[in-house]
Structure 1
Amino acid sequence: MSDPATDPATETFVAHRNLLFTVAYEMLGSAADAEDVLQETWLRWVEVDLEQVRDQRAYLVRITTRQSLNRLRTMQRRREAYVGPWLPEPLLTAPDVAEDAMLAESVSMALMLVLETLAPTERAVFVLREVFDVGYDEIAAAVDKSPAAVRQIAHRARKHVDARRPRQVVSPSETRAALESFRRVLETGDPQGFLDVLAPEVVMVNDGGGIKQAAPRPITGAGKVARFLMGVLGKNEGRVTVAPTVVNGSPALVVHLDGEIDGIMAVRVEDACITGLYYVRNPEKLSRVASATPLTLR
């Protein structure tokens, strides 16, 4: 047997692992499922005759796409039984992710939720074409469609996403400013403070997974969101602390209760106010916020 350290298949897979994880995560919204897809990709990759592969990177992306599509169809059935709203699994990300504007937007909580509204094949085509700039012929091979069909799917998916994605591109500094105001309000519980930082039409989505308290459906309106948050955090007898972090390439907040992580808050900011608030409390989704996950488009 060849030494794994010098095995060409292993070297190629390791070299592209971060890219393959990013592809799978953007298609699935789940780091745990993305890791499973990478394991399945590896098992198929080691069976490939590398001498017959012209572009090994493209071939690996193709395998990852196919495995992600299979898993995405299974996950859709699983999510039908999910308790309450479902949010993507948040990832602690390094500063270089935030510096890459395209990567940061593609993994943002707001856009990932828009991708959830696409059919599996539409999502795969959109991610490969719009995020990773994969050619139509290569996408066609990955999703088992003709290039002409892929072009139509890409056009339809792009139109769907553009109609629902955030209207403004907000700088990280603007987001941090809004989050800092929101952080102070969360720690003081000032009712007027909530109304000052939250847009009147703000929409809050909670994900407790049936394990932690969460609203059964999205909450709309600054007053209702403020009352919900004051109710949830006010019921805790322990000390609530809120600290800045960077999740999915964007500034976010991590909420602790007596030193233990209680949840992650990601936001959508427009005109200096929070218009979207995404609160992940499901403890099964908080395992990737302790150390940074490397993501890349290349």
Structure 2
Amino acid sequence: MPANDSGGPEDLEQAAVIFEGVRPRLFGIAYRMLGSSTEAEDLVQDVWLRWQACDRGAVADPAAFLATVTTRLAINAAQSARVRRETYIGPWLPEPVDTSADPHLGAERGEALGFAVLLLLERLSPTERAAYVLREAFDYPYRLIADIIQLSEVAVRQLVSRARKRVVGERRAPVTGAEQRRLLKAFVAAARSGDLTALEELFAADVTSYSDGGGVVRASRIPVVGAPRVAKYLRAFANRFWAGVTVEWGNVNGQAAALLCHDGEVFTVLTVNASDEGIDQVLWMMNPAKITAVSGLR
């Protein structure tokens, strides 16, 4: 077969060049849809296999084609993930990703990347989530989103509007990145010392602490809610939890995070979400399967 025929060495090389050029965006779509770096990587690999096998000569717009394949696979994967998470042990939190090297994970802006928004997107249907991600994170035109998710443009506009209202309506205005980092560092200091007063002063009245251990490590299996309860909960285990712990700092999902280490190994990724009312959410990501990638942050 001549080298420049479909499937020949030059054709496959060109296919790889095209794919690698859009790969960050494909991963960005998949991650925002699934909240899991591992699952997103697997999905993108599946897209690559399909790209290799398809009739690329019939594809007029490779970037749009690959985004379509990624989104449709992600919708199916999100439906399956929703069923699995119904039996997940304890609170489920998104898998943290390193955004120090690629702050937007293929997006023109960092929308739908922070933990607060990812948690809200979990409440949407997979199709609503896809429409929101494509529009808000990647600024796709409604017409193209309609083609991708196979709905009318009017229906897509309604999906995006409904999703946007839920995300905005259920979330307080976040503080700046600098303020979030300051609050996180103050929280770590207060939690480590078990300073009840300092903790309560940092919290919004309805603060919630979520611990994702996945049933693998010891972690609270229910969220702890309310400033006094969260502060007392943290003080109760301060001496045991923080003994021998070293703290390093990183950037995950576009926000500051504390990497808690025992004997040089990260065992918890800790971050906070905050508004003008104080820290709204404390997120303890402790499931070992979810935090292996953060070693690259150190």
TM-score (norm 1): 0.89
Give the drift of 1:289: 0.9
Distance 2:83 2:225 in 1: 27
CA contact (8 A) 1:109 1:266 kept: no
CA contact (8 A) 1:89 1:286 kept: yes
Change (3 A) 1:238 1:96: same
The letter for the 1-side match of 2:183 is A
CA contact (8 A) 1:187 1:242 kept: no
CA contact (8 A) 1:5 1:11 kept: no
- 1:15 aligns with 21
Secondary structure of the structure 1 residue equivalent to 2:273: strand
The letter for the 1-side match of 2:246 is T
Does 2:30 align with 1:24?
yes
Deviations 1:251-274 (A, max 9, x none): 111112343322111211122721
Distance 1:271 1:151 in 2: 31
Secondary structure of the structure 1 residue equivalent to 2:218: coil
- 2:4 aligns with none
Give the drift of 1:200: 2.7
Secondary structure of the structure 1 residue equivalent to 2:183: helix
CA contact (8 A) 2:266 2:295 kept: no
Secondary structure of the structure 2 residue equivalent to 1:274: strand
CA contact (8 A) 1:104 1:250 kept: no
Distance 1:54 1:237 in 2: 57
Higher relative contact order (CA 8 A, sep 6+): 1
Deviations 1:88-115 (A, max 9, x none): 00112216617x9973342100010000
Secondary structure of the structure 2 residue equivalent to 1:290: helix
Of 232-241 and 69-78, more deviation after overlay is shown by 232-241
CA contact (8 A) 2:97 2:252 kept: yes
Distance 2:168 2:219 in 1: 29
1:66-85 correspondence runs (5 A): 66-85=72-91
C-alpha RMSD over aligned residues: 2.4
CA contact (8 A) 1:136 1:151 kept: yes
Distance 2:264 2:196 in 1: 25
Give the drift of 1:196: 2.4
- 2:289 aligns with 284
Distance 1:170 1:234 in 2: 30
Does 2:217 align with 1:212?
yes
| Among 41, 51, 76, the residue aligned to 1:35 | 41
- 1:64 aligns with 70
The letter for the 1-side match of 2:234 is L
Change (3 A) 1:238 1:188: closer
- 2:260 aligns with 255
Does 2:231 align with 1:246?
no
Deviations 1:8-62 (A, max 9, x none): 1111111111111011000000011101110111111112333322221111110
Distance 2:15 2:115 in 1: 34
Change (3 A) 1:179 1:102: farther
Secondary structure of the structure 2 residue equivalent to 1:107: coil
- 2:3 aligns with none
* Number of matched pairs: 291
Change (3 A) 1:163 1:236: closer
CA contact (8 A) 2:272 2:280 kept: yes
Change (3 A) 1:67 1:211: same
Change (3 A) 1:236 1:156: closer
Distance 1:179 1:48 in 2: 48
Secondary structure of the structure 2 residue equivalent to 1:243: strand
Deviations 1:58-107 (A, max 9, x none): 11110100111111111111111100110000112216617x99733421
Secondary structure of the structure 1 residue equivalent to 2:274: strand
Deviations 1:115-156 (A, max 9, x none): 001011100111011111112222122212222222222222
| Among 248, 251, 273, the residue aligned to 1:268 | 273
Distance 2:180 2:108 in 1: 17
Does 2:195 align with 1:190?
yes
Does 2:257 align with 1:223?
no
Q: Which 5+ residue runs of structure 1 have no aligned equivalent?
A: 293-298
Of 73-82 and 236-245, more deviation after overlay is shown by 236-245
